[in-house]
Structure 1
Amino acid sequence: MIHYYQIDVKEAIQEIESETQADWFALYDATDEEIKKCLQTYKLPEDLLARIRQEEEVARLEIYQSEELKEVQILVLTNLTNQRDKRIEERLEPIIFIFSDTVMLTLTTAESNFFPRLLEKHGSAVASKESLTAYAILMIYSHYIQELRQIKEVIDALDDDARETTKNEALDRLANTERIVIFLDHTLQEQKETLQTFFEETKFAEQLSDTKLRYEINLRQKYAEKMVRLYRDLLENVGGLFSDMMSNNLNHLMKFLDSAALVVSVPAMIAGIWGMNTGGLPGEKSNFGFLAVSAGAMFLAILTAIYLRNKKYSK
């Protein structure tokens, strides 16, 4: 269904049944038929219904003239849900705001609980369409910051793992975390440009009387952008640490194999010399010659192993 709300400075925001008295039409659990009918009534782009289901939908601002609503501003932002069991692209949901002089419409997927949570958290503080939008932007950035704090814990754990192990499980977590951070980085950059255009090219900033709220939006926006850049660099550092650890382990393995080859080559060389059958070799006619040669070869192999073990290759 479509939810109708009336925003009053004194009584804050309240849900009503009358469409004609509503300031805000919230389409957050409406059927496709209800959404299409609403879009057709106000002669809005019908592709808005498809946009809210597109994973690749990007933040943007569109301004055009409508016969029904006169000047229309369509603001598309991207929220991050807390469904961490899903892939990152499935967690990014479009939040569409449609502004006009007379009414505001918002559009989300039927599964989204963004606006019910917004009303639960900030409903008593909403005094205008501008403050409703501002609190929505504020909550969107709060979701990104919460996710980035979770990512910081994962990065710290990966940093510890990189110093102790190079198991596939840790490498998979590193790859997944890098993928999430890349998505967040690009999404926040797009959103920053869109909001900057929205604040500069519309009257939103002038009509938002709460300057503290605008300041809080800017603060969280900068904080989220700083965190995502910092964590992307940290992930590159952790990835480099994993590579260095694997290279170091490989170097140790190659050193061991080279040393083992040298140790084995000593008795092989001695046995080869005594097996030339050229005559005149010590012990060739003795019953204990084989045992003596074997013992001597083993002794020299042990000496070679001890020497290689104590050899300092860094000098």
Structure 2
Amino acid sequence: MIRIFKTEDGTIHEKKEMQPGSWIALTNPTASEIMDVADACRIDPDHLKAPLDEEERSRIEAEDEYTLILVDIPSIEERNGKDWFVTIPMAIITTKDVLITVCLEETPILSSFMDGRVRDFHTFMKTRFILQILYKNATQYLQYLRIIDKKSEVIENKLHQSQKNEELIELLELQKSLVYFTTSLRSNEVVLERLLKIDKIKKYPEDTDLLEDVIIENKQAMEMTSIYNGILSGTMDTFASVISNNLNIVMKFLATVTIVMSIPTMVASFYGMNVLPKGMPFADSPYGFWIVLGFAVALSLIVAYIFNKKDLF
């Protein structure tokens, strides 16, 4: 899908045709759309296709007619009826006349610009627009990290009352999201550091300060990711040990109950053998059954008392 925007009189407007100073937003474009934009803007089609590969790495490529900036952005992926966090590539291509963004799916990072919710945003100020996108990307990571933190707290509360593996699996999914974030943020950091050294990208006095703000936000996101990842790892290890310990307690209790209950069975087995009544204790007594039953129960109670003293119940 192709959408074209241009800032006029301080507000964003959607256009039907490409114009100098406009922003071309490609969202999961078709092959024909890629070729149309590539021909119109004299861009290598492979650079427009690069962000459509989920495994594409973040980088900067400066060509004669344009500059390609490829970064990873956070995204939400639905699996098994639940939302999890991943990262996908997004390309920002700046030419002499227009700025182009290419992404596999719609993202709130770009939607905020399309809806006019970003202040001091102008499509013709391409360098500042790039930095504003990168700043919004870093803040989006921070927002998703806070959601991950809240989700982990909810799952942790469930784990206090549950011995199932579902909660641990959910924590594992959150940890996978943090791994994706860590890898992507480190790649983005390399891109941002390189932006500081490219004079071609910096055209306005405020751009250097804005770029430094982007780098600071990105570093903060990296630190938060590292902290949350460490907390999740410790939580998973702790609750895995708790679940294993609870299982051991249950097995110990069942084994103790089995031993205590087996004593009357053993006594009854001895008296149930096919031997002559002569010589069997209480065989001739009218109260023999109750005496043997009482003996078995008393023996079981003694064993249960001993086990209870040893804290086996």
TM-score using structure 2 length: 0.81
Give me the whole-angstrom Cα distance separating, in 1, the residues matched to 2:301 and 2:127: 83
* Shift in Å, 1:192: 1.6
RMSD of Structure 2 on Structure 1 (CA): 3.3
Q: Is the alpha carbon distance of 1:16 and 1:50 closer, same or farther for their aligned partners in structure 2, counting shifts above 3 Å?
A: closer
Cα contact 1:158–1:238 (8 A) shared by 2: no
Q: Which residue of the partner structure matches residue 182 of structure 1?
A: 179
- Counterparts of residues 177-256 of structure 1 (less than 5 Å): 177-204=174-201, 207=204, 209-256=206-253
In structure 2, relative to structure 1, the CA distance for the partners of 1:299 and 1:238 (3 Å cut) is: same
Unpaired runs of at least 5, structure 2 = none
Residue among 120, 123, 143 paired with 1:124: 120
CA displacement at 1:29 relative to structure 2 = 6.1
Change (3 A) 1:86 1:131: farther
Cα distance change, pair 204–294 in 1 and its aligned pair in 2 (3 A): same
* Aligned-pair CA distance for 1:251: 0.9
Q: Residue 303 of structure 1: CA displacement?
A: 2.4
2:179 maps to amino acid: I
Post-superposition shift, 1:289?
Answer: 1.5
Per the alignment, residue 112 of structure 1 pairs with 106
Match of 1:294 in 2: 293
**Pair 183,201 (structure 1): closer, same or farther in 2 beyond 3 Å:** same
- Of 23, 26, 30, which residue of structure 1 is paired with 2:24? 26
Task: Name stretches of at least 5 consecutive residues in structure 1 with no aligned partner.
Answer: none
- Residues 112-157 of structure 1: per-residue CA shift (max 9 Å, x gap): 2643522512253548322111111111111111111011111112
Q: Which moved more, 1:278-287 or 1:180-189?
A: 278-287
Separation (CA, whole Å) in 1 of partners of 2:53 and 2:187: 16
Q: Measure the CA separation in 2 of the matches of 1:147 and 1:249.
A: 34
Offset of 1:42 from its aligned partner? 3.8
Residue in structure 2 matched with residue 147 of structure 1 by the alignment: 144
**Which residue of 1 is the match for residue 68 of structure 2?**
74
Pick which of 37-46 and 266-275 moved more: 266-275
Segment drifting more, 106-115 vs 260-269: 106-115
The match for 1:61 is 60
Native 8 Å contact 2:22 2:98 kept in 1:
yes
State the TM-score, normalized to the length of structure 1. Answer: 0.80
Deviation, structure 1 residue 266: 2.6
CA distance 1:28–1:183, shift in 2 (3 Å) = same
The residue number in structure 2 matching 1:94 is 89
Match in the other structure for 1:46: 45
Q: Is the 8 A contact 2:70 2:92 kept in 1?
A: yes
Q: 1:194 to 1:215 in 2, by over 3 A?
A: closer
Quick one: which amino acid aligns to residue 134 of structure 1? L
Residues 304 and 148 from structure 1, CA distance in 2 versus in 1: closer, same or farther, beyond 3 angstroms? same
CA contact (8 A) 1:166 1:242 kept: no
Structure 2 CA distance for partners of 1:133 and 1:193, relative to 1, 3 Å: same
Q: Is the contact between residue 3 and residue 27 of structure 1 (CA under 8 Å) also seen in structure 2?
A: yes
Identity of aligned residues (%): 21
Q: 1:30 to 1:12 in 2, by over 3 A?
A: farther
Deviates more, 1:162-171 or 1:270-279: 270-279
1:15-59 alpha-carbon deviations (Å, 9 max, x no partner)? 597989723442346964344122124432212343343332332
Q: Is contact 2:72-2:184 (8 Å) kept?
A: yes
| Residue type of the alignment partner of 1:298 | V
Q: 1:297 to 1:105 in 2, by over 3 A?
A: same
Q: Secondary structure at the match of 1:204?
A: coil
- Residue type matched to 2:113 in 1? L
Cα contact 2:155–2:171 (8 A) shared by 1: yes
Q: Which amino acid aligns with 2:163?
A: T
Distance 1:163 1:21 in 2: 59
Q: Which residue of 1 aligns with 2:4?
A: 3
Mean CA deviation greater in 72-81 or 19-28: 19-28
Q: 1:262 to 1:116 in 2, by over 3 A?
A: closer
